[in-house]
Amino acid sequence: MFLIFIRSIILYTLVLVVMRFMGKREIGQLQPFELAISIMIADLAASPMAGLGIPITYGIIPILSLLVMHLLISFINMKSLKCRELICGKPSILIYRGKIDENALIKENFTINELQERLRGNNIFDLGEVEYAILETSGQITVIPKPEKRGVVMEDLGLKAEYSGLPYDLVIDGRILEDNLHKISKSKEWLEKQVAKFNMKPEEALVVTLNGKGEIFCQKKVKK
């Protein structure tokens, strides 16, 4: 049992490292070759994890080989547009200028019901509101509503929005994030003074954030 535990830890750590090298895409955003490699890695790790008769190297070597393959294909994709189209495919326009392209639906094995389901996932409940619907190579659908159905933005009203910047977490669960303090050129003493305005210390805070306008949000941890 202990040996199975050790093998599982080794293979889990290896798979975690390999997936980290593969990038930060969500499952629904994986390209076909990335999804295939992910499935194969999971299968290769499972067999030697439980089978003591299978040498652990039978899982490690193929997994590392797939990582090399992934990095190679990713490099080729970046360097060659033709290879990228061959490996990943090209986006397909399912709705063009408000009209559904039946040939594109047949080519992509899409039914009207599936198209409507994907549109609802984009908060579009009426086909008549869509100007363009593009099926991306990852399987996601990008929707461009008709001009009269698009949401009003401040630019349409001739208004200018204030720059909000990027908010920074300064304290999470009582732990000071010194890297973020360094990024905003602030000291620990400065943070303590800001948090003191909320009648607490940094280690007593559940969360402390600083937004782009210089405003502090602070909430105290609940004592259990």
Structural domains of the chain, ranges and CATH numbers in brackets: 2-86 (no CATH), 92-149 (3.30.240.20), 168-220 (3.30.240.20)
Contacts of 48 (CB under 8 A, 6+ apart): 7, 11, 54, 55, 56, 58, 59
State the pLDDT at residue 48: 77
State the pLDDT at residue 197: 93
Q: Which helix (H) or strand (E) holds 191?
A: helix 188-196
The mean pLDDT value of the chain amounts to 83
Residue 53 has pLDDT above 70, yes or no: yes
**Span 142-185, pLDDT tens digits:** 999 988 877 777 777 787 777 667 789 999 989 999 999 999 99
Which residue's entry shows tokens 């499935």? 39
Helices (H), 51-172: 57-79, 81-88, 102-107, 112-121
State the pLDDT at residue 54: 78
Cα-based distances in Å from 34 to 98, 129, 133: 33, 34, 24
Residue 194 has pLDDT above 60, yes or no: yes
State the pLDDT at residue 145: 92
Of the ranges 35-44, 100-109, 115-124, 155-164, which one carries the lowest mean pLDDT score? 155-164
**Encoded amino acid at 61, one letter:** I
The rounded distance, in Å, linking the Cα atoms of 224 and 216 is: 25
Of the ranges 33-47, 63-77, 104-118, 176-190, which one carries the lowest mean pLDDT score? 33-47
Residue 21 has pLDDT above 80, yes or no: no
Which strand ranges, in their side-by-side order, compose the sheet holding 205-210?
175-176, 168-172, 205-210, 216-220
Q: Which helix (H) or strand (E) holds 178?
A: helix 178-183
Overall residue count recorded for the chain in this entry: 224
The rounded distance, in Å, linking the Cα atoms of 147 and 131 is: 8
**Span 58-99, pLDDT tens digits:** 788 888 888 888 888 888 878 887 877 777 778 899 999 989
Q: Is 178 within 8 Å of 202 (Cβ atoms)?
A: no
pTM of the model: 0.62
Q: Is 118 within 8 Å of 108 (Cβ atoms)?
A: no
Q: What is the mean pLDDT of residues 136-145?
A: 87
Cα-based distances in Å from 104 to 9, 54, 164, 193: 46, 47, 41, 61
